Amino acid sequence: MTSYAAVDLGASSGRVMLGRVEADLLELREVSRFSYRPEVRDGALRWDAALLRRSVEEGLRGLDVRSVGIDSWAVDYGLLDDSGELLADPVCYRDSRTDGVVDRVLAAVPAEELYGVTGIQILPINTLYQLVADPLAQQAAHLLLIPDLVAYWLTGEIGAEYTNASTTQLLDVHTGQWATGLMDRLGIPSGLFPPIRQPGSAIGGTVVVAVGSHDTASAVYAVPALTSRFGYISCGTWSLVGVELDRPVVTADSLAANFTNEAGVGGTVRYLRNVMGLWLLEESLRVWGLERDPLLRAAASLPRRSVIDPNASEFLPPGDMPSRIVAACRNSGQPVPVDPPEIVRCILDSLADAYRDTLLDAQRLSGKEIDVVHIVGGGSRNELLCQLTADACRLPVLAGPVEATALGNLLVQAGIPDPRRLVAATHEIRRYDPLA
Protein backbone atom coordinates (compact mmCIF):
# COMPACT_ATOMS: atom_id res chain seq x y z
CA MET A 1 0.00 0.00 0.00
CA THR A 2 1.03 3.61 -0.53
CA SER A 3 2.77 5.17 2.48
CA TYR A 4 3.26 8.80 3.43
CA ALA A 5 5.43 10.46 6.06
CA ALA A 6 4.17 13.26 8.30
CA VAL A 7 6.74 15.40 10.11
CA ASP A 8 4.76 16.86 13.01
CA LEU A 9 6.64 19.46 15.05
CA GLY A 10 5.17 20.67 18.32
CA ALA A 11 6.40 23.45 20.54
CA SER A 12 8.65 21.13 22.58
CA SER A 13 8.89 17.84 20.70
CA GLY A 14 8.47 16.41 17.24
CA ARG A 15 7.63 13.13 15.59
CA VAL A 16 7.95 11.47 12.24
CA MET A 17 4.80 9.47 11.56
CA LEU A 18 4.34 6.84 8.85
CA GLY A 19 0.84 6.53 7.47
CA ARG A 20 -1.14 4.53 4.95
CA VAL A 21 -4.17 6.08 3.28
CA GLU A 22 -6.70 4.33 1.04
CA ALA A 23 -10.39 4.81 0.29
CA ASP A 24 -11.41 2.93 3.46
CA LEU A 25 -8.13 2.83 5.39
CA LEU A 26 -6.31 5.43 7.47
CA GLU A 27 -3.46 4.08 9.58
CA LEU A 28 -0.69 5.90 11.39
CA ARG A 29 2.31 4.86 13.46
CA GLU A 30 5.17 6.75 15.03
CA VAL A 31 8.62 5.92 13.70
CA SER A 32 10.66 8.63 15.43
CA ARG A 33 10.26 11.04 18.35
CA PHE A 34 12.63 13.79 19.45
CA SER A 35 12.73 16.74 21.86
CA TYR A 36 14.05 20.29 21.44
CA ARG A 37 12.95 22.63 24.23
CA PRO A 38 14.04 26.24 23.63
CA GLU A 39 17.00 27.48 25.65
CA VAL A 40 18.44 30.90 26.40
CA ARG A 41 21.44 31.53 24.14
CA ASP A 42 22.93 34.72 22.74
CA GLY A 43 20.55 36.87 24.75
CA ALA A 44 17.28 35.23 23.69
CA LEU A 45 15.14 32.13 24.13
CA ARG A 46 16.04 30.14 21.00
CA TRP A 47 15.35 26.90 19.17
CA ASP A 48 18.35 24.71 18.32
CA ALA A 49 18.09 24.68 14.53
CA ALA A 50 20.88 22.15 14.02
CA LEU A 51 19.24 19.72 16.44
CA LEU A 52 15.86 20.19 14.77
CA ARG A 53 17.29 19.60 11.30
CA ARG A 54 19.28 16.56 12.36
CA SER A 55 16.29 15.05 14.17
CA VAL A 56 14.00 15.41 11.15
CA GLU A 57 16.55 14.05 8.69
CA GLU A 58 17.34 11.07 10.90
CA GLY A 59 13.64 10.36 11.40
CA LEU A 60 13.03 10.27 7.64
CA ARG A 61 16.12 8.26 6.75
CA GLY A 62 15.32 4.96 5.09
CA LEU A 63 11.57 5.45 4.79
CA ASP A 64 9.96 4.28 1.54
CA VAL A 65 7.17 6.81 1.00
CA ARG A 66 5.35 8.50 -1.83
CA SER A 67 5.71 11.91 -0.19
CA VAL A 68 6.58 13.85 2.97
CA GLY A 69 4.57 16.66 4.59
CA ILE A 70 5.72 19.02 7.34
CA ASP A 71 3.61 20.84 9.90
CA SER A 72 4.61 22.82 12.99
CA TRP A 73 3.62 25.51 15.43
CA ALA A 74 3.04 28.98 13.99
CA VAL A 75 4.67 32.44 13.99
CA ASP A 76 8.36 31.52 14.59
CA TYR A 77 10.82 31.82 11.72
CA GLY A 78 14.41 31.58 10.57
CA LEU A 79 16.27 34.32 8.71
CA LEU A 80 18.63 33.33 5.89
CA ASP A 81 21.49 35.29 4.38
CA ASP A 82 22.25 35.56 0.65
CA SER A 83 24.00 32.18 0.68
CA GLY A 84 21.02 30.44 2.27
CA GLU A 85 22.53 30.03 5.73
CA LEU A 86 20.73 30.88 8.95
CA LEU A 87 21.84 34.18 10.46
CA ALA A 88 21.02 32.85 13.95
CA ASP A 89 18.98 30.16 15.64
CA PRO A 90 15.26 31.05 15.50
CA VAL A 91 13.90 32.89 18.54
CA CYS A 92 11.01 31.25 20.39
CA TYR A 93 7.68 33.12 20.53
CA ARG A 94 7.84 32.96 24.35
CA ASP A 95 10.88 35.26 24.40
CA SER A 96 10.36 38.66 26.00
CA ARG A 97 11.70 40.67 23.05
CA THR A 98 8.18 41.63 21.96
CA ASP A 99 7.33 43.29 25.28
CA GLY A 100 5.87 46.70 24.43
CA VAL A 101 6.12 46.15 20.66
CA VAL A 102 2.37 45.84 20.12
CA ASP A 103 1.86 49.42 21.30
CA ARG A 104 4.59 50.64 18.94
CA VAL A 105 2.98 48.87 15.99
CA LEU A 106 -0.51 50.11 16.77
CA ALA A 107 0.81 53.66 17.03
CA ALA A 108 1.93 53.34 13.40
CA VAL A 109 -1.01 51.30 12.10
CA PRO A 110 -4.29 51.53 14.06
CA ALA A 111 -5.71 48.23 15.23
CA GLU A 112 -8.85 48.65 13.11
CA GLU A 113 -6.77 49.05 9.94
CA LEU A 114 -4.37 46.23 10.81
CA TYR A 115 -7.27 43.87 11.50
CA GLY A 116 -9.14 44.98 8.40
CA VAL A 117 -6.20 43.95 6.23
CA THR A 118 -5.03 40.79 7.96
CA GLY A 119 -8.01 39.60 10.03
CA ILE A 120 -5.56 38.23 12.59
CA GLN A 121 -5.87 38.31 16.37
CA ILE A 122 -3.51 40.82 17.99
CA LEU A 123 -1.03 38.73 19.98
CA PRO A 124 2.52 39.81 20.88
CA ILE A 125 3.81 36.41 19.74
CA ASN A 126 2.80 37.04 16.11
CA THR A 127 5.53 37.17 13.48
CA LEU A 128 4.78 40.84 12.80
CA TYR A 129 5.80 41.93 16.30
CA GLN A 130 8.76 39.57 16.39
CA LEU A 131 10.09 41.11 13.19
CA VAL A 132 9.69 44.66 14.45
CA ALA A 133 11.77 43.63 17.48
CA ASP A 134 14.36 41.67 15.44
CA PRO A 135 17.54 43.59 14.53
CA LEU A 136 18.55 40.86 12.07
CA ALA A 137 15.49 41.46 9.90
CA GLN A 138 17.23 44.32 8.10
CA GLN A 139 20.24 42.12 7.30
CA ALA A 140 18.45 39.02 6.03
CA ALA A 141 17.69 37.90 2.50
CA HIS A 142 14.85 35.47 3.24
CA LEU A 143 12.39 34.66 6.01
CA LEU A 144 11.09 31.11 6.36
CA LEU A 145 8.52 30.00 8.89
CA ILE A 146 9.50 26.81 10.71
CA PRO A 147 7.85 24.21 8.42
CA ASP A 148 9.07 26.11 5.36
CA LEU A 149 12.56 26.16 6.86
CA VAL A 150 12.48 22.38 7.31
CA ALA A 151 11.20 21.98 3.73
CA TYR A 152 14.09 24.16 2.55
CA TRP A 153 16.59 21.93 4.36
CA LEU A 154 15.09 18.91 2.61
CA THR A 155 14.65 20.38 -0.86
CA GLY A 156 16.64 23.59 -1.25
CA GLU A 157 13.42 25.36 -2.32
CA ILE A 158 12.18 28.60 -0.75
CA GLY A 159 8.47 29.26 -0.28
CA ALA A 160 5.70 30.01 2.23
CA GLU A 161 2.80 27.64 2.76
CA TYR A 162 -0.51 29.50 2.80
CA THR A 163 -2.16 28.38 6.06
CA ASN A 164 0.90 29.10 8.19
CA ALA A 165 1.66 32.34 6.35
CA SER A 166 -1.76 33.59 7.42
CA THR A 167 -0.74 33.41 11.11
CA THR A 168 2.03 35.99 10.68
CA GLN A 169 -0.38 38.98 10.66
CA LEU A 170 1.37 40.00 7.47
CA LEU A 171 -0.88 38.29 4.91
CA ASP A 172 -3.84 40.07 3.31
CA VAL A 173 -6.91 38.07 4.37
CA HIS A 174 -8.84 39.23 1.29
CA THR A 175 -6.28 38.53 -1.46
CA GLY A 176 -4.25 35.72 0.09
CA GLN A 177 -1.04 37.56 -0.77
CA TRP A 178 1.58 39.29 1.37
CA ALA A 179 0.48 42.67 2.70
CA THR A 180 3.50 44.55 1.35
CA GLY A 181 1.98 47.98 1.96
CA LEU A 182 1.61 47.14 5.61
CA MET A 183 5.20 45.88 5.76
CA ASP A 184 6.49 49.12 4.22
CA ARG A 185 4.72 51.24 6.83
CA LEU A 186 6.22 49.19 9.66
CA GLY A 187 9.74 49.12 8.26
CA ILE A 188 9.66 45.38 7.58
CA PRO A 189 11.53 44.50 4.36
CA SER A 190 8.93 42.97 2.03
CA GLY A 191 11.66 41.24 0.04
CA LEU A 192 12.10 38.79 2.93
CA PHE A 193 8.89 36.97 2.11
CA PRO A 194 8.87 34.14 -0.45
CA PRO A 195 6.07 33.17 -2.86
CA ILE A 196 2.95 31.58 -1.36
CA ARG A 197 2.41 27.82 -1.76
CA GLN A 198 -0.99 26.15 -1.54
CA PRO A 199 -1.58 22.94 0.43
CA GLY A 200 -1.25 19.90 -1.81
CA SER A 201 1.43 21.36 -4.08
CA ALA A 202 4.75 19.58 -4.60
CA ILE A 203 7.78 21.54 -3.47
CA GLY A 204 10.34 21.90 -6.21
CA GLY A 205 9.45 18.65 -7.94
CA THR A 206 10.59 16.65 -4.90
CA VAL A 207 8.70 14.15 -2.75
CA VAL A 208 8.01 16.93 -0.22
CA VAL A 209 4.42 18.21 -0.44
CA ALA A 210 3.05 21.38 1.13
CA VAL A 211 0.31 20.43 3.58
CA GLY A 212 -1.65 22.53 6.04
CA SER A 213 1.71 23.37 7.57
CA HIS A 214 0.25 25.24 10.52
CA ASP A 215 -0.45 22.30 12.80
CA THR A 216 -3.92 23.58 13.62
CA ALA A 217 -4.81 23.77 9.91
CA SER A 218 -3.94 20.09 9.58
CA ALA A 219 -5.76 19.22 12.81
CA VAL A 220 -8.97 20.98 11.74
CA TYR A 221 -8.79 19.26 8.34
CA ALA A 222 -8.98 15.93 10.21
CA VAL A 223 -11.89 16.85 12.52
CA PRO A 224 -14.34 13.93 12.05
CA ALA A 225 -17.37 16.19 11.57
CA LEU A 226 -20.19 14.85 9.42
CA THR A 227 -22.06 18.18 9.20
CA SER A 228 -20.94 21.80 9.05
CA ARG A 229 -22.56 22.73 12.40
CA PHE A 230 -19.57 22.06 14.62
CA GLY A 231 -17.13 23.90 16.79
CA TYR A 232 -13.60 22.65 17.30
CA ILE A 233 -10.95 22.73 19.98
CA SER A 234 -7.51 21.73 18.78
CA CYS A 235 -6.13 21.07 22.22
CA GLY A 236 -2.43 20.78 22.94
CA THR A 237 0.11 23.15 24.45
CA TRP A 238 -2.16 25.82 22.99
CA SER A 239 -5.89 25.45 22.44
CA LEU A 240 -7.28 26.84 19.20
CA VAL A 241 -11.03 27.25 19.62
CA GLY A 242 -13.49 28.24 16.94
CA VAL A 243 -15.64 27.44 13.91
CA GLU A 244 -15.00 26.87 10.22
CA LEU A 245 -16.27 29.53 7.82
CA ASP A 246 -16.37 30.27 4.09
CA ARG A 247 -15.25 33.89 4.47
CA PRO A 248 -13.45 36.02 7.07
CA VAL A 249 -15.13 38.16 9.73
CA VAL A 250 -13.29 41.47 10.13
CA THR A 251 -15.90 43.57 11.93
CA ALA A 252 -15.19 45.93 14.79
CA ASP A 253 -16.91 43.51 17.16
CA SER A 254 -14.67 40.69 15.97
CA LEU A 255 -11.60 42.82 16.56
CA ALA A 256 -12.83 43.75 20.04
CA ALA A 257 -13.30 40.05 20.84
CA ASN A 258 -9.75 39.37 19.56
CA PHE A 259 -10.77 36.69 17.07
CA THR A 260 -8.51 35.60 14.27
CA ASN A 261 -9.19 34.56 10.67
CA GLU A 262 -6.55 31.99 9.83
CA ALA A 263 -6.46 30.20 6.51
CA GLY A 264 -7.65 26.61 6.35
CA VAL A 265 -7.04 23.86 3.84
CA GLY A 266 -9.35 24.07 0.84
CA GLY A 267 -9.99 27.80 1.00
CA THR A 268 -11.76 27.71 4.37
CA VAL A 269 -11.33 30.19 7.20
CA ARG A 270 -10.46 29.01 10.71
CA TYR A 271 -12.29 31.62 12.74
CA LEU A 272 -10.88 31.16 16.22
CA ARG A 273 -9.35 32.56 19.34
CA ASN A 274 -6.23 31.26 21.06
CA VAL A 275 -6.60 29.90 24.58
CA MET A 276 -3.42 29.15 26.51
CA GLY A 277 -4.20 25.43 26.64
CA LEU A 278 -2.45 22.52 28.30
CA TRP A 279 0.71 24.58 28.72
CA LEU A 280 -0.64 25.48 32.15
CA LEU A 281 -0.87 21.81 33.14
CA GLU A 282 2.34 20.73 31.40
CA GLU A 283 4.42 23.41 33.05
CA SER A 284 2.87 22.67 36.46
CA LEU A 285 3.67 18.97 36.09
CA ARG A 286 7.24 19.84 35.14
CA VAL A 287 7.64 21.99 38.26
CA TRP A 288 6.14 19.33 40.53
CA GLY A 289 7.87 16.37 38.91
CA LEU A 290 4.59 14.45 39.16
CA GLU A 291 2.70 12.16 36.78
CA ARG A 292 -0.40 13.43 35.01
CA ASP A 293 -2.91 10.57 35.36
CA PRO A 294 -2.97 10.22 39.18
CA LEU A 295 -3.44 13.98 39.49
CA LEU A 296 -6.30 13.96 36.98
CA ARG A 297 -8.05 11.20 38.93
CA ALA A 298 -7.63 13.13 42.16
CA ALA A 299 -8.85 16.36 40.53
CA ALA A 300 -11.97 14.62 39.20
CA SER A 301 -13.09 13.88 42.77
CA LEU A 302 -12.92 17.55 43.78
CA PRO A 303 -15.61 20.24 43.46
CA ARG A 304 -15.20 23.36 41.40
CA ARG A 305 -13.77 26.14 43.60
CA SER A 306 -11.67 28.69 41.71
CA VAL A 307 -10.99 29.74 38.13
CA ILE A 308 -8.38 31.91 36.47
CA ASP A 309 -8.04 33.62 33.10
CA PRO A 310 -5.77 31.13 31.29
CA ASN A 311 -4.83 33.81 28.75
CA ALA A 312 -3.42 36.22 31.34
CA SER A 313 0.07 37.35 30.38
CA GLU A 314 1.69 36.00 33.54
CA PHE A 315 1.00 32.44 32.39
CA LEU A 316 2.84 32.74 29.06
CA PRO A 317 6.52 32.37 30.10
CA PRO A 318 8.07 29.18 31.45
CA GLY A 319 8.61 28.99 35.21
CA ASP A 320 6.77 28.31 38.44
CA MET A 321 3.26 27.97 37.02
CA PRO A 322 1.64 26.62 40.22
CA SER A 323 2.74 29.67 42.23
CA ARG A 324 1.33 32.00 39.59
CA ILE A 325 -2.02 30.18 39.63
CA VAL A 326 -2.17 30.35 43.43
CA ALA A 327 -1.37 34.07 43.31
CA ALA A 328 -4.05 34.71 40.68
CA CYS A 329 -6.69 32.99 42.82
CA ARG A 330 -5.58 34.88 45.93
CA ASN A 331 -5.51 38.25 44.15
CA SER A 332 -9.03 37.72 42.78
CA GLY A 333 -10.42 36.88 46.21
CA GLN A 334 -11.23 33.25 45.41
CA PRO A 335 -10.44 30.14 47.44
CA VAL A 336 -6.73 29.41 47.08
CA PRO A 337 -5.81 25.90 45.86
CA VAL A 338 -3.50 24.30 48.39
CA ASP A 339 -2.15 21.19 46.66
CA PRO A 340 -1.50 19.84 43.13
CA PRO A 341 -4.94 18.18 42.65
CA GLU A 342 -6.70 21.44 43.53
CA ILE A 343 -4.46 23.40 41.15
CA VAL A 344 -5.13 20.88 38.37
CA ARG A 345 -8.89 21.18 38.97
CA CYS A 346 -8.55 24.98 38.80
CA ILE A 347 -6.67 24.73 35.50
CA LEU A 348 -9.20 22.43 33.85
CA ASP A 349 -12.28 24.33 35.08
CA SER A 350 -10.66 27.52 33.78
CA LEU A 351 -9.95 25.99 30.37
CA ALA A 352 -13.50 24.63 30.06
CA ASP A 353 -14.94 28.06 30.87
CA ALA A 354 -12.61 29.71 28.35
CA TYR A 355 -13.64 27.20 25.67
CA ARG A 356 -17.34 27.90 26.35
CA ASP A 357 -16.89 31.66 26.22
CA THR A 358 -14.87 31.45 23.00
CA LEU A 359 -17.38 29.22 21.22
CA LEU A 360 -20.27 31.45 22.29
CA ASP A 361 -18.41 34.47 20.95
CA ALA A 362 -17.56 32.66 17.71
CA GLN A 363 -21.22 31.89 17.08
CA ARG A 364 -22.37 35.39 17.97
CA LEU A 365 -19.80 37.12 15.79
CA SER A 366 -19.95 34.82 12.76
CA GLY A 367 -23.64 33.94 12.77
CA LYS A 368 -22.78 30.24 12.55
CA GLU A 369 -24.55 27.97 15.04
CA ILE A 370 -23.08 24.71 16.29
CA ASP A 371 -24.62 21.50 17.62
CA VAL A 372 -21.49 19.69 18.77
CA VAL A 373 -17.93 20.41 19.91
CA HIS A 374 -15.04 18.35 18.56
CA ILE A 375 -11.90 18.14 20.69
CA VAL A 376 -8.87 16.83 18.80
CA GLY A 377 -5.22 16.52 19.76
CA GLY A 378 -3.66 15.52 23.04
CA GLY A 379 -6.42 17.11 25.10
CA SER A 380 -8.94 14.64 23.69
CA ARG A 381 -7.42 12.00 26.00
CA ASN A 382 -8.08 14.13 29.07
CA GLU A 383 -11.42 12.71 30.20
CA LEU A 384 -11.95 15.28 32.93
CA LEU A 385 -11.30 18.19 30.58
CA CYS A 386 -13.66 16.75 27.95
CA GLN A 387 -16.46 16.26 30.48
CA LEU A 388 -15.99 19.71 32.01
CA THR A 389 -16.09 21.20 28.50
CA ALA A 390 -19.34 19.40 27.68
CA ASP A 391 -20.81 20.64 30.99
CA ALA A 392 -19.66 24.23 30.40
CA CYS A 393 -20.80 24.38 26.77
CA ARG A 394 -24.06 22.48 27.35
CA LEU A 395 -23.29 20.58 24.16
CA PRO A 396 -22.03 17.08 23.41
CA VAL A 397 -18.27 16.81 23.05
CA LEU A 398 -16.78 14.32 20.58
CA ALA A 399 -13.19 13.59 21.56
CA GLY A 400 -10.58 12.36 19.12
CA PRO A 401 -8.56 11.62 17.21
CA VAL A 402 -5.48 12.34 19.30
CA GLU A 403 -3.29 12.43 16.19
CA ALA A 404 -5.51 14.80 14.21
CA THR A 405 -2.60 16.98 13.11
CA ALA A 406 -0.57 14.11 11.64
CA LEU A 407 -3.72 12.64 10.08
CA GLY A 408 -4.60 15.94 8.43
CA ASN A 409 -1.03 16.17 7.16
CA LEU A 410 -1.35 12.71 5.55
CA LEU A 411 -4.80 13.39 4.13
CA VAL A 412 -3.61 16.48 2.26
CA GLN A 413 -0.73 14.50 0.79
CA ALA A 414 -3.06 11.68 -0.31
CA GLY A 415 -5.70 14.00 -1.76
CA ILE A 416 -8.62 12.08 -0.24
CA PRO A 417 -11.93 13.62 -1.46
CA ASP A 418 -13.91 13.25 1.81
CA PRO A 419 -11.25 13.29 4.54
CA ARG A 420 -13.51 13.90 7.54
CA ARG A 421 -15.78 10.99 6.77
CA LEU A 422 -12.73 8.73 6.43
CA VAL A 423 -11.44 9.85 9.84
CA ALA A 424 -14.86 9.24 11.43
CA ALA A 425 -15.07 5.78 9.86
CA THR A 426 -11.59 4.64 10.87
CA HIS A 427 -11.00 6.14 14.34
CA GLU A 428 -12.66 5.72 17.70
CA ILE A 429 -14.39 8.93 18.77
CA ARG A 430 -15.60 9.19 22.38
CA ARG A 431 -18.76 11.12 23.22
CA TYR A 432 -19.28 13.18 26.39
CA ASP A 433 -22.77 14.50 27.09
CA PRO A 434 -23.38 17.39 29.50
CA LEU A 435 -23.99 16.27 33.07
CA ALA A 436 -24.30 19.57 34.91
Could you give the residue numbers annotated as active site? 215
Question: For residue 39, what are the β-bridge partners?
Answer: 46
What distances in angstroms separate CA 49 from CA 73, 233, 383, one per listed residue? 15, 30, 35
Q: Is residue 171 a contact partner of residue 198, using CB atoms and an 8 Å limit?
A: no
Tell me the residue ranges of DSSP E strands in 199-284. Answer: 208-209, 230-235, 239-245, 260-263, 269-275
Which of 202, 198, 192 has its CA nearest to residue 151?
Answer: 202
Q: Rounded to whole angstroms, how far apart are CA atoms 345 and 351? A: 10
Pick the closest to residue 88 from 44, 132, 37, 147 (CA basis).
44
C-beta of residue 258 within 8 angstroms of C-beta of residue 121: yes
210: Cβ–Cβ under 8 A, 6 or more apart, which residues? 69, 151, 159, 161, 162, 197, 198, 199, 200, 201, 202, 203
Nearest to 67 by CA among 412, 402, 418: 412
Non-local CB neighbours of 239 within 8 Å, separated by 6+ positions = 233, 274, 275, 276, 277, 278, 351, 354, 355, 379
Pick the closest to residue 231 from 259, 200, 267, 266 (CA basis). 259
